[in-house]
Amino acid sequence: MTPPSSPGLRWGILGPGGIARAFASDLRTAGLDLVAVGSRSLDSASAFATEFGAARAHGSYEELVSDPEVDIVYIATPHPFHAEQAILALEHGKHVLVEKPFTLTADEAAAVRAVAAERGLLAMEAMWTRYLPHMVRIREIVAAGTLGEVRLVTADHTQLISSDPSHRLNALELGGGALLDLGIYPISFAWDILGEPLSITAAARLGETGADSEVATIMSHVSGALSTSISASRSAGPNTAHVIGTDARIDIDSVWYNATSFRVITADGTVLEEYASDIQGRGMQYQAIAAERYIAAGLTDSEILPIDETVAIMESLDEIRVMIGVRYPGED
């Protein structure tokens, strides 16, 4: 599937790590304009720029956000640094697409939102799953009433990553834990389908460093529907998701948060629709194209994931962390 055409902004990438490589590859797949890369190491920035055909490499983040040829900055560093770097870019007049989780805490997310509003710029969470074609179709099916009354949303994001205490996912000083890295996906999905939760219950297992290695949540929503999620960094599960209604359900195949397939199935087992994704690359280009379209239209917010919802989701993650006893260095 070929994504829709892009208005054509000039992108800079801040932090040339693993997720940035996937994003840069998808920018190139979609023909978007990657012009600059910024890193704390000029050698790293130069190598990345050469690999992905960016014209300029900067040996500091300040140089990148000061680059007059950059319109929008994709922030791909670990999440404890997102707020500071997003604000730095915004204060230099750049729109920002910030990797999920948007920030470490809701207060930080609100601070980014305030600066973006003051400057009249787009600050958008890079929850790329929401922009994928199969998720667009799922929202259409739910809105059409095909499922009847939606009663339950359930999803897992479980991977076998590392038990090494020094690994980023286990380091509290780097915002480690399954919840913010992995749990953000199913929790954001529940928000997408069911809206803001009225109540949250959570339980977790903490690892040796105090970071969460497994987290389970139950949320109740305005409609009365429930959502459940399981996230884990030390065990790999099916990574599927389901939207269950009174008339039918949607079964989303593994890996549900990537471009994948799904089926709409009635209560008697009749398959109403089968959907198979056919996209180029990983699919991160869809969020970038959406950002470009918003900016071209003079908008400073995402229609699919508004900044107010991003902040509110961070509030839910804060609440879950209180329940499971995870605190980051420097938190009061």
**Cα dihedral sign for 288, 189, 305, 193?**
positive
Residues of the chain with pLDDT under 70: 1-7, 332
Q: Residue 13: beta bridge partners?
A: 37, 74
Q: Is 94 a catalytic site residue?
A: no
Q: What is the pLDDT of residue 224?
A: 96
Question: CA of 5: how far to CAs of 17, 96, 121, in Å?
Answer: 27, 20, 22
Beta-sheet pairing, 248-252 with 241-245? antiparallel
Contact 247, 142 (CB under 8 A): no
SS3 90: helix
Contacts of 99 (CB under 8 A, 6+ apart): 19, 74, 75, 76, 77, 79, 82, 126
Amino acid at 173: E
The catalytic residue among 100, 130, 134, 221 is 100
Distance CA(126)–CA(100), nearest Å, equals 6
Domains, the chain = 10-129+283-299 (3.40.50.720), 133-278+313-324 (3.30.360.10)
Q: What percent of the chain is modeled with pLDDT above 70?
A: 98
Q: What is the pLDDT of residue 7?
A: 57
